């Protein structure tokens, strides 16, 4: 798997204010704050700890299954004591299968599957993140799959990890990622007729009038700006 790229921060965007509010006043009191939003870049070998053993075992098992490890895994990030394999979406099912089945790996449990939205990261706006646990070896790894906002399809891993069923439904519900092959990809928290996907960063904040002792709280985009 690729490991020769110099580790550099992947700068996604520059954020103004506490929450990067656009189109309305910043009500946080930090309207003058300017900071970059960045993610850690690819890591160099050795990764340290058991991470190298997992990476080597995954490479061997993929190769034995007829899959080029360098094609399946785009890069690896080690950050804050965790290892993340950035997997190309067409290989996510086979990578999960090898992580689950190979004796040296045995990541039997999909602990969680969630989504992330980076609207400024062109071509990689949507991410699906998988947290895997090996009960056999007491180890954890993270997988991440990126896809474009105009092509939101990622293969479902329900056939490998049945617990992905409701996780993928929730990720579809909140982020709009379509998990191809899911047995019943329907909303799980929002009503079936709910418009849009409310955890996307471009989803409107809206506002519901609230009355308190005769006062009315306006929606967020109508509140006073402190910047």
Tell me the average pLDDT of the chain: 89
User: What is the rounded distance in angstroms from the CA atom of residue 72 to the CA atom of residue 60?
Assistant: 12
Residue 120 lies in a domain: yes
Can you point out the beta strands (E) in the chain? 10-16, 34-39, 73-79, 82-87, 109-117, 126-134, 139-147, 153-155, 178-180, 210-212, 215-217
Return the biggest CA–CA distance within the chain: 70
Residue 4 lies in a domain: no
| pLDDT confidence bin for 224, thresholds 50/70/90 | low
Nearest-Å Rg of the Cα atoms of the chain is: 20
Residue 32 lies in a domain: yes
Residue 1 lies in a domain: no
Q: What is the pLDDT of residue 38?
A: 87
How many domains does one find in the chain? 1
**pTM of the entire predicted model:** 0.84
Q: What is the pLDDT of residues 61-105, one digit of tens each?
A: 999 999 999 999 999 999 999 999 999 999 999 999 999 999 999
Residue 159 lies in a domain: yes
Q: What is the pLDDT of residues 150-182, one digit of tens each?
A: 999 999 999 999 999 999 999 999 999 999 999
Q: Which two tokens stand for residue 19?
A: 């929450």
Residue 3 lies in a domain: no
Q: What is the pLDDT of residues 30-58, one digit of tens each?
A: 778 888 888 899 999 999 999 999 999 99
Residue 128 lies in a domain: yes
Q: Identify the CATH number of the domain in which residue 211 sits.
A: 3.30.460.80
Domain residues for 121?
10-222
């Amino acid at each position: 798997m690729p490991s020769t790229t110099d580790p550099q921060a992947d700068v996604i965007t520059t954020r103004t204010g506490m929450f990067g509010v656009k189109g309305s006043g910043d009500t946080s009191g930090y309207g003058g704050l300017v900071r970059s939003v960045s993610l850690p870049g690819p890591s160099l070998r050795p990764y340290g700890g058991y991470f190298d053993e997992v990476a080597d075992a995954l490479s061997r098992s993929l190769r034995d299954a007829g899959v080029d490890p360098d094609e399946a895994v785009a890069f690896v990030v080690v950050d804050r004591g965790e290892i993340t394999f950035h997997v190309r979406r067409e290989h996510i099912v086979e990578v999960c299968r090898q992580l689950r089945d190979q004796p040296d790996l045995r990541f039997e449990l999909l602990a969680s599957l969630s989504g992330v939205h980076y609207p400024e990261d062109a071509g990689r706006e949507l991410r699906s993140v998988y947290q895997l646990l090996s009960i056999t070896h007491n180890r954890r790894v993270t997988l991440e799959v990126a896809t474009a906002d105009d092509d939101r399809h990622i293969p479902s891993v329900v056939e490998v990890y049945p617990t992905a069923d409701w996780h993928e439904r929730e990720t579809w519900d909140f982020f709009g990622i379509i998990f191809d092959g899911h047995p019943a990809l329907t909303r799980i928290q929002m009503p079936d007729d709910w418009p849009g996907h409310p955890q996307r960063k471009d989803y409107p904040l809206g506002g519901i009038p609230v009355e308190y002792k005769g006062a009315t709280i306006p929606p967020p985009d109508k509140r006073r700006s402190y910047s």
